[in-house]
Amino acid sequence: MSKTHNTQAMKPLPSLLLVDDSQEIREQMKWALKPLYTIFEADNRASALEILQREKMVLVALDLGLPPDADGTSEGLSALEQLIGVKPLAKIVVITGNQDRANALKAVQLGAYDFMDKPVDLEVLKTVLQRAGYLSGLEKENQKLLEREEKRGFPDIIGTSPVMGKVFDTIRRVAGSDISVLIVGASGTGKELVARAIHQQSHRKDGPFIAINCGAIPETLLESELFGHEKGAFTGAHMQRPGRIESAEGGTLFLDEIGEISPALQVKLLRILQERTIERVGGRVEISVDTRVLAATNRDLQMAMKDDRFREDLYYRLNTVTIPVPPLRERGTDIVMLAKALLQRYVDEAKKKIVGFSREALLSLEQYHWPGNVRELENRIRRAVTLTDNLRIVPGDLDLEEPKDVQAGPTLKEARDVVEKRIIEQTLAKTSGNITKAATILAVSRPTLHDLITRHTIKK
């Protein structure tokens, strides 16, 4: 037997907690699931809580009909809330009567991963638990990726998509020198975060990082803001004041929306880049400055040059290297990763009991176009945390429409197909299209995976 097979044989089975007051039903489920899981059993809420607190597990099959309300759902729903309170990332599949759809949906709102009607189809339960376990693994992997990115020096920029990988790579390459960098991208994509990352990776990291939005300050004030002024330079100039450029001495000056500055200021800015000197407004003394200049814009500066609104010589001085920051809609799975990180941040700030997003909310996040990019995502999640009373964020909390496959009222099979396709696509992306590795991760044979790829029309 090969070493690989030995390793797989020794790999411990994932743990699963079965919560049901019927020993007969637990025995039936245990008989079917024992080859796949290390089974723990509980017949009431207190026992279930004790086991979940004690053992390392995230998978739970929970019957809502628990004593003392075995014929109702109140005890089961209370158990659900407490189990999630103990372990927020637990994937809990609730089991309820086939006519009790309202309580099943309430359970999902409270944080259940999925629900199943009685009598339970054990083969379907196997599939649901397998997907729940796979999703839990992805969440753990996402957390590891976030921690890894923080260690790499980009704690404020979250993303593992290929397009963001290129951004990170360029940041590392340009950070060690003092060359000028032009960061381009739509509003809200995080251009200032990229500039800060360059500063933090550079030899100037102990110096100041001074940012100024050139489009947010009236033109009449922008020159004084940048260059400073001498006492009496204009009405109201009662004292000498250094500008932002001097304040960035030994550090980095970030000029956001550089395309908004006037032609006259463009000339003065060009002088800084060429001669490394400035004159304050109303002054006659040249002041040497040791400042790295980074600039950003959401405008097409090449078009602005053709229209004589932006100087060509300044453009090429600023644009030694260009870093394009992609819009959020092009960042794939980064959207969900960002959303979860932001949710955790705002929940901690607000000190509210929110454990995550509903599946419908995650689908809505993925399907939305995000015209306002990361800034819009931040605003929607902050709003949701402030206003919601739900344990899990739902689409309405985000002011987003229900996802298309939910709106259309899919069958359970159709919903499972959507999840199955997404998991296969994510796994293929993770393994760079390697069918053998993907089949191993998904715990299916290679022919089965080929059949699934064909059935779901997945591009290899």
The 10s digit of each residue's pLDDT in 140-187 is 776 676 666 555 556 778 887 888 889 998 999 999 888 889 999 999
Among 110-119, 204-213, 284-293, the range with the most confident prediction by mean pLDDT is 204-213
Distant-in-sequence, close-in-space partners of 138: CB < 8 Å, separation ≥ 6? 426
Pairing status of strand 38-42 against strand 15-19:
parallel
**pLDDT at 380 (0 to 100):** 96
Q: Please check the confidence at residue 433 and state whether its pLDDT lies above 60.
A: yes
Higher pLDDT, 223 or 196: 196
The average pLDDT across 103-111 equals 80
Q: Please check the confidence at residue 407 and state whether its pLDDT lies above 70.
A: no
**pLDDT at 371 (0 to 100):** 94
Pairing status of strand 15-19 against strand 59-63:
parallel
**What gap in Å lies between CA 273 and CA 336, rounded to an integer?**
40
**What gap in Å lies between CA 75 and CA 63, rounded to an integer?**
10
Identify whether the C-beta of residue 297 lies closer than 8 Å to the C-beta of residue 184: yes
**What gap in Å lies between CA 194 and CA 200, rounded to an integer?**
10
The average pLDDT across 406-413 equals 51
Amino acid at 356: G
**pLDDT at 62 (0 to 100):** 93
What one-character DSSP code corresponds to residue 19?
E
**pLDDT at 430 (0 to 100):** 82
The average pLDDT across 312-341 equals 91
The average pLDDT across 121-137 equals 86
The average pLDDT across 88-92 equals 86
**What gap in Å lies between CA 99 and CA 96, rounded to an integer?**
8
How far the first Cα of the chain sits from its last, in Å, is: 31
The average pLDDT across 381-400 equals 92
Residue length of the chain? 460
Percent of the chain beyond pLDDT 90?
37
Q: What average pLDDT does the structure give for the chain?
A: 85
Task: Using alpha carbons, select from 392, 447, 452, 377 the residue that is nearest to residue 422.
Answer: 452
Written as six digits, the tokens of 203 are 């030899």
**pLDDT at 152 (0 to 100):** 56
Higher pLDDT, 167 or 282: 167
In DSSP terms, which residues pair with 116 in a beta bridge?
95
Per-residue confidence at 405, pLDDT binned at 50, 70, 90? low
**pLDDT at 413 (0 to 100):** 63
**What gap in Å lies between CA 345 and CA 328, rounded to an integer?**
19
Q: Please check the confidence at residue 257 and state whether its pLDDT lies above 90.
A: yes
Higher pLDDT, 33 or 243: 33
Distant-in-sequence, close-in-space partners of 147: CB < 8 Å, separation ≥ 6? none
**pLDDT at 134 (0 to 100):** 82
Lowest-confidence range among 1-15, 124-138, 189-203, 345-359? 1-15
**pLDDT at 15 (0 to 100):** 92
Per-residue confidence at 458, pLDDT binned at 50, 70, 90? confident
Q: Please check the confidence at residue 237 and state whether its pLDDT lies above 50.
A: yes
Global pTM reads 0.63
Q: Please check the confidence at residue 288 and state whether its pLDDT lies above 60.
A: yes
**What gap in Å lies between CA 134 and CA 420, rounded to an integer?**
11
In the chain, the domains with their CATH numbers are: 14-151 (3.40.50.2300), 162-326 (3.40.50.300), 329-406 (1.10.8.60)
